[in-house]
Structure 1
Amino acid sequence: MLQKLRDKTSGWIATAILGLLIIPFAFFGMESYLSQRVDTYAARIAQPPSWWASAPEVWPLTYLWNTKEIASSEFRQRFEIARMRAREEQGDKFDAKAFESVENKRKILDDMIDEQVMRMAAERDGIVISDGEVRSQIQQIPDFQVDGKFDADRYQLLLASQSPPQTPREFEQKVRDNLHYGLVPSRLSQSAFATDREVDRILRLLSEQRDVSFVTMPPVPADGAPVSAADIGSWYKAHASTYRRPETVRLEYVEVDGSALPAPVIDEALLRKRYQEQSAKYSTAEQRSVSHILVQVAAGASAADKQAAEARANKLAAEARAPGADFAALAKANSDDAGSRDKGGDLGLMTKGGLPGPFEDAAFAMQAGEVRGPVKSDFGWHIIKVNEIRAGNQQPFEAVRAQLETELQQTERDRAYNELSGKLVDAVYKNPTSLEPAARALGLAVQTTPAFSRAGGPGIASDQKVLRAAFSDSLIQDGTASDPIEQGPNRSVIIRVVDHEPEAPLPLATVSDAVVAAIRADRQRKAADAAASALVKAAKAKGLAAAAADAKLVMAEANGILRRSPTPSPQAVEAFFNAPRPQDNLATVDKVELGGQYIVFAIRAARDGDLTKATAEERKQLRDQLSQVAGGDAQQAYVKSARAKYQIKVAEDRL
């Protein structure tokens, strides 16, 4: 048999078949062997080559495709940035569980996909951003400006203070990248406009007036008819989601309240030591009212200019020291300090440390009314006059003793709170499945809450931070204690879930009364709707006034109602303007339900707004708003159409 097999496989036909089989194994088998990898992308965006739009995405043709990936790590980084921003904006209302929803993750990922699609489209279209465009964009950023102008020093300082620090080259590349993929969408948005006809149409609608007659239907009597068991069962089954017991938890907790700690005893010696350490806090420094005349010397001035400035300063100093000299008049006429010249050289009250060195040394060595100078500084030559000296003041220990004691007590209370909180955390971490041992060791009480739902409960259960922790998966599933939850200054709580009841349907026997009440309320609502519908039908046949009279109801009229009119109510006015305009002199009759009460109305007339009453500024504002809306729509449409040209694969399990 083996000889026959050898004979059959040694001919030229067998050799040809074997050769054909080797080809696919050589390409596809080897490729699969060599290219083994683990995908880590959150999304993959791919596009076939422009010259072969129908190219299949199979190896080896995949090398022809333009493919980009958004790594899971990139997505997590963007997601964490969005989380921090949301937490800062929402504060205590931030819900971590809701933020982790699949819908929110997809929204953030979709934004990243749109950005990547725009990058790929920009590369395909050959868009290039010039250095000048990048420079202009950076110079327009307000944070890099001083007095409305770009400041290079501030630019570099702010970049260096980032976490992590950025170099100008890195930041410029980031700006270039943003301009690169955002150029077409932003220009498309900016190119939108609104025509005069569109503006006129919106103005007519915004200032439209309507004449309306309306009847407020009286409440329908409460339904007291019997409800059968079959009706109860049918209603309960149809509204099963309504009759469910909410998820609840019950907590045990240990609270640390700094205000409840014993008041510390403050030693007299400690008070005096603190007074000495903070003596500057209870004293006012000496102040001097100073005026000056500045003879400015430019930084690059020549020797001759410097000598001339010094000579001029000596001359002015001699004039200022002359008996009866008017220092303020001399300053107004001669000082080069534009900031103080018009005030007679007055610099106001000064304390040590607020003036250039030589200037300050001279000013604080002078007597009141004395004139000195010229004094050299980096700005030039100064002629100085001390107008007034206000001596410093030191409050005695007795005057601030009570304040010192209060501060020390608070410091000691803070220290005691922090020490107790730290010990509690350490003790709880040693046995996180029970709070009793830690509380007993520190002399604290373990308290409990009644069961409460996500809507909250009494005491600590009303705190949003406690609610988020109490219903977190980790505390519910593990039964361990939480981290300390801050509830205010020097006040925190550690909680543990001791009982958890998941959401569950309520048995019919428990909610039968509520079901009966709901059925009767539904009957009452239907009766009210039927009464309103009957009045609408009659009003269409004979007019609302006659129909209301026949039904012995009161009809009211409101003429010239605008869209922003407050009466009879904003909701009713919205319904009046949502109804079609009267046609062929026939009023438009309809009804609207507002909070369980019906209003039947008839639109008797509708008049366009008077365009001549709109000011040029109002027209401009409306045109800008319409252009902005149209630009946003055009931008979204462009991104959507560009996205449709790519094959996008999202790895939901990696989000």
Structure 2
Amino acid sequence: MLQKLRDKTSGWIVTLIMGLLMIPFLFVIDSSYLGGMGANDVARVQAPPKWWTSAPSWWPASLLWQHRDISTAQFRERFEQVRMQTRQQQGENFDAQRFESTENKLAALDQLVDEEVARLASERAGVVVSDEAVRNTIASIPGFQTNGKFDPAVYREQLARGLPARTPAQFEQLVRDSLQQSLIPSAIATSAFSSKADFERAIRLMGETRDVTLGVLPQQEMDTAPVSDEQAKQWYDAHPADFRQPEMVTIEFVELNGANLPAAQAADEATLRKRYEEEKSRFVDAEQRQASHILIAVPANADAAAQKAAEAKASKIAAEARQPGADFAALAKANSDDPGSKDAGGDLGWVEKGVMVKAFEDAVFAAKPDEIVGPVKSEFGYHIIVVRGTKGGQGKSFEEVRDQLAAEQLKADADKTYADQSGKLVDLVMKNPTELAGAAKEMNLPVQTLGPFSRADASGIAANPAVQRVVFSEAAIQDGTVSDPIELAPNHSVLVRVTQHSAEQTLPLDKVRERVVAAVQADRTNQAAAKQAEALVERLRKGETLEAIAPAAQLQVSPLPTLQRGMPMPTAAANRVFFAAPVPAEGKPSVGKVELATGRYAVFLVNKVTPGDLTKLPPGQLETLQGQFAGMQGEAAQRAWLEAVRKQFKITIHEAQL
């Protein structure tokens, strides 16, 4: 029977039918099985196959698309960088709670998306960054230099002190990625150009001044007329977003802080000596060598004859350098093809392992002091090398590092105490994950409550982004279980549980009627002020002068001569209105009205427009402005390219992970 079944279900016809039946399943299979976004990713950038650039994203072939994911860790690092920059810019005006808005988070994420789009586009274009380019870029960073030269010790120290700390290999990869993603946009920006006519037109507009006369109306009396139920209902229905209550939660939590735990005892001598023996290699200074070299460069595409000639030249110079009394520095100045060290007599300073190319590095660290080594072949050509000094490589004694070991051991013991207590608390919670009271009582910790609060008005631990991600997550709200420990700081964490939740909702009219009435009355007041200003504008357009109507209208008249574009006078918004007004006709000013920041209205006259004059620019400023204008054109071209590439790619945002 089984053989008959096998015979009936074999053959190309059955295979074809089965294949056709499988196609619909491609559209319904959970994307997590097909390489979908991971739980720890906030965004994905996908590019269609090169052989089908117009492939629709819904087609099953999208499984073959290239993609780059942006993890929550990457997003949090970038958002923290933006937070620090904003805090420095705003100083005391920085509002930590307001900064945590979804708008700010999406803006930071958009930067990361742009970077991934540029990187993926560069990869698809075949852009490759060489090791030499990475090394040269790192060596050119002023923060890694001492007296204008790259310093490996400073380099490692700065990386270790960074936020986050990075190893040289990690930083080199970061630089490589940055160079790769920026090459095409930078080339587009630098290749952008503008005509002389465009530049002169921009200068005339940028340098334009306007003579304006402003007449400020008195503050409009507040409308206090009653608001009917029908009027209130109409306003409420027309502005539902103004009367929404954000999503809110109430939580209970237990806080575990290492600072409140019993202090760890200082380690005894035997423990410290044991730690020293186990970690002795940590206290050995890296070996460094003071090296000089003469480079006879060989192009990468040089033929065998050119290679042989360069090697012969290098051998001849090496022989000269080995002669008694030879001046290596003079030979380097006369013969070296390395522009970075030639004028310094070939001096490379103190060299450390892991910085130079391998062949060169091996030769340096195998050489004896004052020994002439070479020619040594590398990707740059042939080197003649001399080591002029050595240092490092010696270990520190126990006595020299005892205090450091004691501090590290004390911290390790404190960390262990905290970890033990944290583990015990988690174990107790796991016995009954729907409540905190039992575990807290056994640990002698208080159960605290907080809320109700929204994302915008959270305070205390609830203002922490990590806490908010948990308490506003669907899992925490629906399950009502205790969270995993959420780290607030080193050795400081909380376990939280959502006890109440209310979804974002429009509040009923009866609860916000006072706010609705106030909004209607404020709108009436504004409309009355605008209507009064418009009536004055009509009188001015018919030929009346501002001086003539000012007394009766109680206007505060202020001349604003030679007002510059972009000047916040009287406000930035008002300045934009003044410069958007038509150019006045001969003998007839341009008239308009503007709402000021105080809620008052003003009428204005644009009496004169003076274009910017290139001939009046100070010497040197014209070139500066030309450079700035070219930069603006380059940025616009760069942005246009990026937007065009984004349209070709598929970008998925997981906003719930922010």
Which TM-score applies when normalising by structure 2?
0.59
Residues 298-377 of structure 1 mapped to structure 2, 5 A cutoff: 305=324
Letter in 1 for 2:565: R
User: In the TM superposition, what whole-angstrom CA distance separates every residue of 1:616-655 from its partner, at most 9, and x where no partner exists?
Assistant: 53322322233233344445656777999x8x888999x9
Query: How large is the Cα RMSD of the aligned pairs?
Result: 5.8
Task: Tell me which residue corresponds to 2:586.
Answer: 584
Residue 612 (1) aligns with residue 612 (2): no
Q: CA deviation at 1:208?
A: 1.8
Shift of residue 436, structure 1, vs aligned partner: 1.3
Cα distance in structure 2, aligned partners of 1:29 and 1:277: 69
- Does structure 2 retain, via aligned residues, the 8 Å contact 1:212–1:605? yes
Q: Match for residue 420 of structure 1? A: 421
Mapped partners of 1:461, 1:178: distance in 2: 37
Deviations 1:524-580 (A, max 9, x none): 111111111112112222122222233132211121222254443333323222222
Amino acid at match of 1:569: T
The one-letter amino acid paired with 2:615 is T
Q: Does residue 575 in structure 1 map to residue 573 in structure 2? A: no
Q: How does 1:64-79 map to 2 (within 5 A)?
A: 71=64, 74-75=66-67, 77-78=69-70
Change in Cα spacing, 1:227 to 1:118, as seen in structure 2 (3 Å) is: same
The answer for the alignment partner of 1:12 in structure 2 is none
Go from structure 1 to structure 2 and tell me whether the alpha carbon gap of 1:602 and 1:652 turns closer, same or farther (over 3 Å shift).
closer
- Asked if the contact 1:214/1:602 (under 8 Å) is kept, the reply is yes
Compute the displacement of 1:104 (Å): 9.6
| Residues 548 and 472 of structure 1: CA distance in aligned 2, closer, same or farther (over 3 Å) | same
User: In 2, distance between residues paired with 1:161 and 1:419?
Assistant: 34
Secondary structure in structure 1 of the residue aligned to 2:570: coil
Are the structure 2 counterparts of residues 496 and 239 from structure 1 closer, same or farther at C-alpha, using a change threshold of 3 Å? same
Between the aligned partners of 1:438 and 1:49, the Cα distance in structure 2 is: 58
* Aligned residues of 1:256 and 1:492 also touching (Cα < 8 A): yes
Gaps of at least 5 residues in structure 2 are 1-12, 28-33, 37-45, 85-95, 160-165, 277-316, 329-344, 349-367, 370-385, 391-398
Distance 1:257 1:177 in 2: 44
1:519 aligns with 2:520: yes
> Does structure 1 conserve the Cα–Cα contact (< 8 Å) formed by 2:188 and 2:637?
yes
Q: Residue type of the partner of 1:610?
A: D
Contact 1:223–1:520, Cα closer than 8 Å, also in 2: yes
Contact residue 101 and residue 456 of structure 2 kept, 8 A: no
Deviation string 1:278-300 (CA, Å, 9 cap, x unpaired) is: 9xxxxxxxxxxxxxxxxxxx997
Q: Is the contact made by 1:428 and 1:435 (CA closer than 8 Å) also made in structure 2?
A: yes
In the TM superposition, what are the counterparts of 1:387-406 in structure 2 within 5 Å? none
| Residue identity opposite 1:456 in structure 2 | D
1:593 corresponds to which residue? Answer: 595
User: Offset at 1:450?
Assistant: 2.8
Gaps of 5+ in 1: 1-24, 123-127, 279-297, 310-335, 340-357, 360-376, 382-393
Partner of 1:479: 480
Contact 1:45/1:117 (CA < 8 Å) preserved in 2? no
Deviation digits for residues 600-629 of structure 1 (CA, Å, limit 9, x no counterpart): 111111112232232453322322233233
Counterpart of 1:228?
228
- Corresponding residue for 2:214? 214
SS in 2 for 1:500: strand
Cα distance per residue 1:469-507 (max 9 Å; x no partner):
221222112212222233345432211101111122322
| Matched letter for residue 305 of structure 1 | P
Relative distance call for 1:483 and 1:162 in structure 2 (3 A) is: same
In the TM superposition, residue 206 of structure 1 has moved relative to its aligned partner by 2.2
1:286 aligns with: none
Task: Give the superposition deviation at 1:47.
Answer: 9.0
Residue 457, structure 1, aligned to residue 458, structure 2: yes
Measured in 2, the distance between the counterparts of 1:41 and 1:412 equals 42
Cα distance in 1 for partners of 2:204, 2:507 equals: 55
1:409 to partner: Cα distance: 8.4
| Map of 1:20 onto structure 2 | none
Name the aligned partner's letter for residue 257 of structure 1. Answer: N
Aligned identity (percent) is 31
Distance in 2 of aligned mates of 1:90 and 1:561: 35
1:165: how far off?
10
Shift of 1:234: 1.6
**By how many angstroms is 1:106 displaced?**
9.7
Q: Deviations over 1:407-427 (max 9, x none)?
A: 998876655444322322232
Question: What SS does the aligned partner of 1:450 have?
Answer: strand
Residue 444 of structure 2 aligns with which residue?
Answer: 443
- Pairing partner for 2:625 from 608, 622, 647: 622
Q: In 2 relative to 1, CA 418–440 (structure 1 residues): closer, same or farther, beyond 3 Å?
A: same
* Aligned counterparts of 1:568 and 1:99: Cα–Cα separation in 2: 29
CA deviation vs aligned residue, 1:342-379 (integer Å, no higher than 9, x gap): xxxxxxxxxxxxxxxx99xxxxxxxxxxxxxxxxx974
How many angstroms apart in 2 are the aligned matches of 1:118 and 1:178? 6
1:104/1:35 CA distance change after superposition, 3 Å: farther
Is the aligned partner of 1:141 residue 2:137?
yes
State the partner residue of 1:197.
197
User: 2: CA distance between counterparts of 1:79 and 1:49?
Assistant: 28
Q: Equivalents in 1 of 2:220, 2:583: separation in Å?
A: 30
Evaluate the alpha carbon distance shift between residue 465 and residue 187 of structure 1 in structure 2; reply closer, same or farther with a 3 A threshold.
closer
- The answer on whether the counterparts of 2:214 and 2:602 sit within 8 Å (CA) in structure 1 is yes
Alpha-carbon distance, 1:187 to partner = 5.0
CA distance in 2, matches of 1:509, 1:115: 54
CA contact (8 A) 2:210 2:563 kept: yes
Distance 1:111 1:598, change over 3 A: same
Offset, 1:220: 1.0
Structure 1 CA distance for aligned equivalents of residues 22 and 514 of structure 2: 70
Maintained 8 Å contact 2:100/2:456:
no
Bigger mean CA deviation after superposition, 451-460 or 407-416: 407-416
**Distance verdict in 2 for CA 1:81–1:616, change over 3 Å:** farther
Name the amino acid aligned to 1:77.
D
Deviations, residues 240-288 of structure 1 (Å, cap 9, x unaligned): 3322332211101011233334567x68x9599989999xxxxxxxxxx
1:88-134, CA deviations, whole angstroms, 9 ceiling, x for partnerless residues?
53469797988998x999997898778777887x6xxxxx98x9x96
Secondary structure of the corresponding residue to residue 533 of structure 1: helix
Find the partner of 2:81 among 84, 89, 113: 89
Q: One-letter code of the match for 1:576?
A: F
Query: 2: distance between equivalents of 1:253 and 1:421?
Result: 14
2: distance between equivalents of 1:565 and 1:176?
A: 38
Contact 2:49 2:64 in 1 (8 A): no
On the 8 A contact 1:433/1:479 being kept in 2, the answer is yes
Distance in 1 between the 2:449 and 2:319 partners?
78
Shift of 1:514: 1.6
